[in-house]
Chains A and B, each alone.
Chain A
Amino acid sequence: MTSYYDSKDLPRFSEIGKDAPELAKKFFEYYGAVMAEGELTAREKSLIALAVAHAVQCPYCIDAYAKECLEQGSNTAEMTEAVHVAAAIRGGASLVHGLQMRNVVDKLSL
């Protein structure tokens, strides 16, 4: 096994429609509509997508949205801040569950 993730697979994303074309069509229509200019600009959406890509740790999405952010005119300081937002939410999400731990401990403790 050389590498599980191969950047050459990214442009082949549409092949996921093989054997289930209708579902793929619905997904890509939805995806396109979500990422289109709306109440948020395409640049803002790209930064959100970059942050989410880090949160879900998808190399394909990081590759695609790092490039997209640059082409939408974002700079590396903005992109780095977006990654920190993902890190803060991920870290905060773990920490806030510490209250569950405390609840359990409180219930079990004298």
Chain B
Amino acid sequence: MQEIQPASCPSAGVGFAQTLAQHGLRLEREQTHTLQINTGLLCNQACRHCHLEAGPSRKEIMNRETMDQVADYAARGGFQTADVTGGAPEMVPGIDHLLTRLAAAVPRVMLRSNLTAITDSDREHLGLLCRDLKIVLVCSLPATHASQTDAQRGSGVMDCSVSALQWLNSLGYGQPGTGLELNLVSNPAGAFMPPDQGRTEERFRRDLQRKWGIVFNSLYTFANVPLGRFRTWLEASGNYEQYMARLTEAFNPEAVTGLMCRNLVSVDWNGELHDCDFHLAKGIPLGGIRHHVTKMDCPPIPGATIATAEHCYACTAGAGFT
């Protein structure tokens, strides 16, 4: 697979594939146990870091036929986890159907929520459905302070997110002994690297409990990927070169072994497969070759090629993107 080079990336210097080779590393699949399902780009938010440029005006969403095809693949592929993402999956018509089918097909279903779509008045039933199906919720919350959260995700999002988390806690999510997992994801609110995950989790736990009585299970910190709206902002703000240099300097060979693309395959709203959601955003197909979910008998086999590109540096910087 030939690496896709961005048109203007002077500071990226050495290409990602070359960097791997310099460290004697090969990026290839291990056992693929997770099926990530991108239900589309429709979203009630237009976050400034969104690599997919999702938003309220986007029309790309998964239809019911594709949902069934994806759920069938999840079952016949023997996947352990289905990871449902978007956009805001909550806004996609038929999402209840997809979640219900997936819950019957795989042991663990995750739903990525931006915490505002799930609590819209006509979608509260989704939270109850998730609770009944014991779906793991993975929710975006960049910071425990409104200035950074609202800067990244839109004005008023912090207040709305706090209300949503309190409501999910009241359903049992994040509470000990319920088996209802509530995990948070924090991306930096700008062109800088994420803080240490363990310490940030401690701070979030302390701050959210102290300020609003909110509890959760785990927090994950991830670097922003220089694609889509975030890349546009990086370029417009004059941060692109410096950010790419920061990512490439922070390349951590040890992070390569834990990369999600070794164990995950990502399917888009049309049923096409990709190595990850970032390749999906760039239109790079699975291993560089187009595959539709209906033509797949099983997950990609161990040893299969994984496509690489410049944005892969975001997943290998520091502790990595697992």
Contacts and interface: CB of A to CB of B under 8 A. Distances in A.
Indicate whether A and B interact. Answer: yes
Interface of A: 41, 43, 67, 70-73, 75-77
Contact of B147 (A43, A72, A77): A77
Interface stretch (B98-106, B190-198, B285-293): B190-198
B148 A67 contact: no
A77 B148 CA distance: 10
A76 B193 CA distance: 15
B200 A76 contact: no
Given A70-B188, A70-B190, A75 B199 contact: no
A80 B116 CA distance: 29
Contacts of A41: 199
B143 interface: yes
A69 B280 CA distance: 33
Contact of A67 (B192, B194, B196): B192
A73 B145 contact: no
Contacts of A70: 188, 190, 192
Contact of A75 (B145, B192, B194, B196): B145
Q: Which 5 A-B pairs rank lowest in CB-CB distance, beginning with the nearest?
A: A73-B195, A75-B145, A70-B192, A73-B200, A71-B193
Contacts of A77: 145, 147
Contacts of B196: 72-73
Interface residues of B, number: 15
A14 to B, nearest CB: 15
B58 interface: no
B268 to A, nearest CB: 32
B203 interface: yes
23 contacts: A41-B199, A43-B195, A70-B188, A70-B190, A70-B192, A71-B188, A71-B192, A71-B193, A71-B194, A71-B195, A72-B196, A73-B195, A73-B199, A73-B200, A73-B203, A75-B143, A75-B144, A75-B145, A75-B147, A75-B148, A76-B147, A76-B148, A77-B147
A21 B147 CA distance: 44
Nearest to A68: B192
Contacts of A75: 143-145, 147-148
A37 to B, nearest CB: 10
A73 B199 CA distance: 9
A72 B200 CA distance: 8
